[in-house]
Chains A and B, each alone.
Chain A
Amino acid sequence: MNLCRAFLALLLVLSTPAAAQEGTGETAPDPLDDFQDWLAPRSETRWTPTVSAGFDALLHTYPLATTDTTETISESFAAVGLEGRSGRSGSRRWRLLGEFSVGSELFRESLEAQWRYLDRRRIARWRLDADFEGRQYREGTGYSLSSDHLEGDLTARAVPWVTGDHLLEMRLDAGFMDYSAPSALEVSHREGGAGLQYGSRLLAEIPWRVGYRYTGRAYPDSARIDRRTHSMEGDLEWRGLDGQVLRLYHSSRRRLIRDEEVKPSAWMHWSDLSAQVPAGTGDVYLDLQSEIWDYDEDSTVYLDSWRLDGVLGFRWGDLMRAGWRLGLAAEHLAAGDSPETYTQLGMRGGVESYGASLNGSIQVEYGRRHYHQGGGVDGQGGYGGDAGFEDLDLTYSDFHYFEIWLMGGWNISETLRLDVMASYEPESHTEQDDDVSLGYASLRLVWRPSSRP
């Protein structure tokens, strides 16, 4: 109740200067106006405070032994933040962002810090990034897992070799996660790693890079699940003269688990393809994603699988006024004999606008998922691979789905902004008992005064 009052009071306080400024007819600055500023870098250190208040709600409806259960978590909160950064003319640059929020469910803190050393060609030869994040749950919180925790990551990068438009980057990573009251689902860990990357500079004609990275993670309270990961990845972007764009990304990871009986080691291959071709008054676009899991020992729990999903569509209009999109979305999961193998097909459409004072987007998708119920399903409807479950019908039911997503932002004044985000995803299954709904809503009022040197 006190928090609600505080929230209302904050709204009142924040809206007063906003109302005073509304009459000036000022609108949010056009980012292109900053171009001159970009050409003539500022040298001053800048600090920007932020104050925000908001409300988040999460909803998850699913069957609980034939009875629908709706789990909801709603949380009101108030947050303060401070962002500082060095001027953009020196060779040593830094950035610091600290945030603290008080919510009806928990307290959140985060600290991000970055330091870079740039050479005369503005290449970051040295770079340090540190992120820390903490969560403390209130007594009686609605969250199921409520162990307070602190997480941190530190990454150091160095560019020892630059030639023409290409550079070699080396990195070292360290991280930790500490739970105050560890449990089976709240396991503390330590992490360390190193990597190497070679590729073009950011503004190259065809930006590309390839890299290798090693990560080791140790769980002090559960050493059996310690893991090591080797990953190779690469990406490339090509832009044609007539507005064609092609982006490729691929990553192959080898994950090794200390005790293979607990969890098998596995290969994971992830690929992204994104393409755009101008057509008439707009663009035809294609986004594809492929994900392959290949376990050393395939089991009913850890299944070898290949998931391919993508969207092919057409977008037109002006993003600054109204940009439209319409496309066909498809997804296929191939998981051998498992009943989890499915194919999904849907239509996706939406409109978005990023004007100076108002911006937002609405996206809707409607479709159907069909489970193939492959050869593994035995005569009793159970999955043959599931020893011990012969008399259970372990098959998934087909369903129609809706995905509705809304995002909006209103620059009430130069310093005050209202953000709204909401989504709702109901599934209507052929077996009514399997119906599921997911929802999320968030409302945030953000006050961000002008940055001060």
Chain B
Amino acid sequence: MLTPSANPSQALAGRLMLIALAALLVLTGIFPAGAQAQDAQHEQVQQYIERNLELLESALEIVDETEAMPPRRILRNARDLHLQAVRLLEEGRPGLALQTARRCRDGIRQAVLLARESFGQEERLRQRLDRFHEQHANLLDLARDAQDQRALELLARGRQMSDRARDQYRQGESRLALQLLDQAEELMTRAARMLVGQKGNRLERALELAQVAVQQAQEALQGSDDPAARDLLTESEKALERALDFRDQGRPGRALRMAGLSRRLARRAMGLQGETLAPQGVDRQIERWDERAANLGETLAGADDASRNLFQRARDHRRRAAEQLAAGRTELALRQIRAAHDLLGQLEDRVR
């Protein structure tokens, strides 16, 4: 049986009331749930950001230990991102704050990785720069002695590269510095190879020159019965043979010195052949020495002790030459006056 309240319109209104009530209940129920979720998110982001701050502090300790700039730049950038994330969270934008905080953490990771990598690089760089400097100086001496322009150019460019590497090292750019130093070392290695090759060439050329000198002396002394010149030629030939032996035995240093000796002896033999070895010839050489010494007179007045000692030694040889000549030992006199002329030549080079 229907009551008056069972009127359909009333029932509909009642249903509507119920729905509105239910909606109100639902709405009032949901609102506190959403607020709680937002609070939780805010808290999570805040924890993430606070952890970032701890990581930043730990990373700073490691980065401070290095001398490298890239990790410093990255960490500085990470710190800026951290501050930005804090601000975004304060402004009630937790989503954006989290995104920024994640970028900050990536930056911290990169900074720590780069910092740790740079420790080894810095230590290695210091050692390698020192070693480069030492090796470069040694090779430079060698290249200058050998007058090898190509090696000198390579060494000069290697030096430029190492200077740039040193600049970059001082800028805290150890990775870039290592790259530049690698190339400087490569240039130095090439120069070293060239100089090793040059050492071989130098020996062959020295042997060639000695052989030419010996042949010339042999031709010049054909038919000559000058015993002193013949002795010198024999000595020269022996020295050349020994130079060739040393080369074959793989002893380039001795071979080079012996080839030089052979060439000098051959030249001296030819020099003797061209002279009469008569006492008058030696006498002329003594006179010539006196003229040269007289020309040096004024210069010698202001010369240093070493130069004066050199002159003294030359004068002793000149005196002995005169004594030997007076005793009739022309050959010995000639050797003495030659030594006196040599020393005078050295002296002229010094004081000129």
Residues of A within 8 A of B (CB): 28-29, 31-32, 34-35, 37-39, 43-44, 56, 58, 60, 62-66, 69, 71, 87, 89-92, 129, 135, 143-145, 149, 165, 184-186, 201-205, 239-241, 245, 251, 253, 268, 270, 291, 293, 300-303, 305, 307, 319, 333, 340, 352, 354, 359, 361, 363, 386, 388-389, 391-394, 396, 405, 407, 409, 419, 421, 423, 425, 433-434, 436, 438, 440, 442, 444
Contacts and interface: CB of A to CB of B under 8 A. Distances in A.
B94 interface: no
B209 to A, nearest CB: 7
A391 B67 CA distance: 26
Contacts of A37: 147
Contacts of B69: 144-145, 185
Given A144-B172, A319-B194, A90 B349 contact: yes
A270 B113 CA distance: 25
A333 B257 CA distance: 46
A394 B55 contact: no
B220 interface: no
Contacts of B196: 239, 245
A417 B173 CA distance: 30
Contacts of A71: 70
A268 B188 CA distance: 23
Contact of A388 (B55, B206, B251): B55
B62 interface: yes
B67 A241 contact: no
Given A65-B106, A423-B183, A440-B180, A60 B149 contact: no
Contact of B171 (A144, A361, A396, A405): A144
B150 A354 contact: yes
18 contacts: A38-B145, A60-B176, A62-B114, A145-B69, A145-B171, A203-B256, A239-B196, A319-B193, A340-B116, A354-B194, A391-B51, A393-B109, A405-B186, A425-B179, A434-B113, A438-B175, A440-B179, A442-B160
B124 interface: yes
A58 B176 contact: yes
Given A319-B197, A434-B113, A440-B176, 7 more contacts: A34-B148, A205-B254, A268-B127, A293-B123, A319-B194, A405-B183, A440-B179
A37 B157 CA distance: 25
A241 B171 contact: no
A431 to B, nearest CB: 10
A307 to B, nearest CB: 8
A65 B349 contact: no
A166 B109 CA distance: 55
B78 interface: yes
A245 B106 CA distance: 50
Interface in B217-249: 248-249
B4 interface: no
A62 B70 contact: yes
B306 interface: yes
Nearest to B247: A241
Contacts of B86: none
A64 B172 contact: no
Contact of B120 (A90, A144, A303, A386): A303
A253 B131 CA distance: 12
Interface stretch (B15-23, B161-169, B273-281, B323-331): B161-169
A391 B109 CA distance: 10
Interface in B188-206: 190, 193-194, 196-198, 201-202, 205-206
Interface of B: 51, 54-55, 58-59, 62, 64-65, 67, 69-70, 73-74, 77-78, 81, 103-110, 112-114, 116-117, 119-120, 123-124, 127, 131, 137, 142, 145-151, 153, 157, 160-161, 164, 167-168, 170-173, 175-176, 179-180, 183, 186-187, 190, 193-194, 196-198, 201-202, 205-206, 209, 248-254, 256-257, 260, 306, 346, 348-350, 352
B127 A421 contact: no
A66 B147 contact: no
Contact of A359 (B81, B150, B170): B150
B119 A301 contact: yes
Nearest to A438: B179
A135 B176 contact: no
Given A31-B147, A301-B62, A393-B109, A65 B77 contact: yes
B107 A205 contact: no
Q: Among the interface residues B78, B117, B124, which one has the most CB atoms of the partner chain A within 10 A?
A: B124
Contacts of B167: 135
A300 B73 contact: no
Nearest to B205: A35
Nearest to A153: B133
A90 B254 contact: no
A421 B161 contact: yes
A65 B103 contact: yes
B109 A392 contact: yes
A423 B179 contact: yes
Contact of B168 (A58, A63, A186, A363): A58
Given A38-B146, A66-B103, A303-B120, A204 B253 contact: yes
B181 to A, nearest CB: 11
A87 B206 CA distance: 22
Given A34-B147, A440-B180, A185 B172 contact: yes
